[in-house]
Every structure is written in structure tokens, then in C-alpha cells.
Amino acid sequence: MKKWLVYLILLLSLVVFSACSDSSSTLTKIKVAEVTRSIFYAPQYVALEEGFFEEEGLDVELQTIPGGDKVMTSILSDNSDIGLVGSETSIYVGAQGSEDPIINFAQLTQTDGTFLVAREPNDDFSFEDLKDSDFLGQRKGGMPQMVGEYVLKQNGIDPQNDLNLIQNIDFANIASSFLSGTGDYVQLFEPIASQFVQDGNGHIVASFGEESGHVPYTVFMAKQSFLEENEEAAIKFARAIYKAQQFVQEHEAEEIAEIVKPYFEETDIALLVSSVERYKTQGSFAENPLLDEEEWNNLKSIMDESGELPADIMHDELVNTEIAKEVMDE
């Protein structure tokens, strides 16, 4: 081969390598902490797998940190840029008078995502059946527990007096505790709830999402200073999420399940499909990232009913709607 041709090939290789290096180096890195790994967050995984973040010039690093308090600690200590967690956590921080409050800027889910799982089958379940039972609840002050108590009260059940409410088990260990014999009933997210049903370890008897109405259940949030200093990146992030939300609304559960399968490698694809379909049917996936005032007030009502509302913080104090509106109006 002639020398000039060899030099040309080498030169072209260097140009291609340089272009690839420059492309990867221009991506803005964003560290995201999700409160749990659940098919409930399917739009987030769609955004990752379909390259919606990369299209916006973002390199998103996702980590799972079980527990809303732990996610909030990660944000406050700058170990995470953005948290995916219930909006109640931002209210807890805001009530302490933080100079750099945690701001909700893109909603992902708009209903409770837990299902009531019974140890024994009951085709004629009534909430009255919960009386005098051992109920394996969620973390005190967290969204699953507050919504759970709210739904029980709406159905004539006093959580503190009508049943034995168990709340001393860490969020990450609730499912395994029920599996090992603790409790007659438990609140579980998908796909764990359906997995229990498939394995004969439980029976879904009710949906807390259907019973409680719309709330800002899980929302992307960040420090106010982060949003101010990285406004363009925050808009790009919300735009990628909005693309994913539209994708989930427009595509069948089977396709969505195949896309997010890498995040649930040990879960049967059929269970993922049924879980996505269940959430789609009850309207759990938010159709857009906008957290409106009605949802915010519903959240505060639920917190107040549970005795967990530390302060009556207004919607515009802890919610940035401008980012969501901008990407929705494009």
C-alpha cells in the first residue's frame, strides 16, 4: 500500500476518534438519585434507554437510594444533583426555613403507586376486613404511608386503633419481611406486588392509586441554587422526561416493558407488561411534567390528615412550573 494512502487512513482515523471524544466530552453530567427501583418510574427508564437525555446533551448517572430521607440527604450534601422522590420531602425541608430550598420542577407520577397485598386470597375483599389485622405499613411520614392512611380513613378504618400497624421496618426490607411471615397485609409497588401474586405469596386486593386521586407522588427536584446555576440543563432534563412521558402514553405496555427490561433483569417480562398496563390503566404515569396547584393542595390535605404537615407551604414557594411549561409549549 502506498505511503500516502496509509497516512490518509491514519489521518481519517484520528479525525473520527477526535470527533467521538469531543462529542462525549460535551455532554453535561447529571447525577440523579431515585428513591426506589420500580416499574412505577417507567418513563424515566424509557428516557434513558431511548437516548432522550443524550439527545439533549445530558449524561445522566442514575443511582437508587432507598428512602425519601436518604435521597434528600444526598441532594442536600451535593452527592446528587436531582432527586426522584415524593414532594412531601421538599415540604419537610422547606418547613425548616432552608435558605436553599428544594424545588419541584418535573412531575413523573401522579397517583400512589402501591397496591394492597393480602397474604390470603379474598375475592370479596372489603376494607372492613383489615380490622384487627397485622398491617405491614410504610415509613412514617412518607407518601406511601400517608396515602395508605388517608385511603383507610376514607373507607372507615382508623389505622392507629382498628389494626396493628407495623412501621419499624426499613423501606428496602418491607417486601422481604412480608415474605418471611410478618403481617397479614402489606403495601407494595410493582412489579413486586405482581411477583408475589405469581409466586403464590400474596394476592392484590386493592389499589391505593385508584382510591386516593391525583397527587405529586414522585417528582424530580433539586436545590434552588442548582436550578438557577444550571437552568439550561434543567430545561433539557425536563424536555427529555416529557418526550418519555409522551412515548409511554403513545405506546403499548409490551413495547415499554421490553425497553425497560434491563432495569428489572430478574423479573419475568410478562410481569413487567402487566405492571406497566396496570399503571397506565389507572393513570399513574403523569402525561406531562407540570405539577399543578390542585395536586399540590391534595398532597397537603393528605399530609394534614396524617398529622404530618409541618407547615402550610404554598405551591409557588416550592414548585417551579416555568420549566415544565417551557418544554410543553415548544
pLDDT at position 20, please? 45
Same domain (yes/no): 75, 170? no
pLDDT at position 17, please? 42
pLDDT tens-digit series, residues 241-289: 999 999 999 999 999 999 999 999 989 999 999 999 999 999 999 999 9
Residue 10 domain-assigned (yes or no): no
Average of per-residue pLDDT across 71-100: 95
**Last residue of some domain: 212, 238, 259?**
212
Q: What confidence category does residue 11 fall into, taking pLDDT thresholds of 50, 70 and 90?
A: very low
Q: What confidence category does residue 171 fall into, taking pLDDT thresholds of 50, 70 and 90?
A: confident
Angle at 187 between CA 248 and CA 286, to 5 degrees: 20
**Last residue of some domain: 166, 196, 212?**
212
Same domain (yes/no): 37, 107? yes
Same domain (yes/no): 129, 168? yes
The CATH number linked to 126 is: 3.40.190.10
Q: How far is CA 94 from CA 140, 146, 280, in A?
A: 18, 19, 32
Residue 130 domain-assigned (yes or no): yes
Average of per-residue pLDDT across 294-300: 95
In sequence order, the 6+-apart residues with CB closer than 8 A to the CB of 304 are none
Same domain (yes/no): 220, 310? yes
pLDDT at position 9, please? 46
Counting residues of the chain whose pLDDT is more than 90, the rounded percentage is 81
Measured CA to CA, the distance from residue 81 to residue 163 in angstroms comes to 40
Residue 259 domain-assigned (yes or no): yes
Same domain (yes/no): 222, 317? yes
Same domain (yes/no): 225, 90? yes
Same domain (yes/no): 147, 287? no
The number of domains in the chain is 2
Domain, as residue range, for 198: 114-212
pLDDT at position 25, please? 59
pLDDT tens-digit series, residues 103-125: 999 999 999 999 999 999 999 99
Measured CA to CA, the distance from residue 11 to residue 227 in angstroms comes to 42
> Amino acid identity, residue 227?
L
In sequence order, the 6+-apart residues with CB closer than 8 A to the CB of 28 are 57, 58, 59, 230, 233, 236
Same domain (yes/no): 105, 118? no
pLDDT tens-digit series, residues 177-236: 999 999 999 999 898 999 999 999 999 999 999 988 899 999 999 999 999 999 999 999
Average of per-residue pLDDT across 67-93: 96
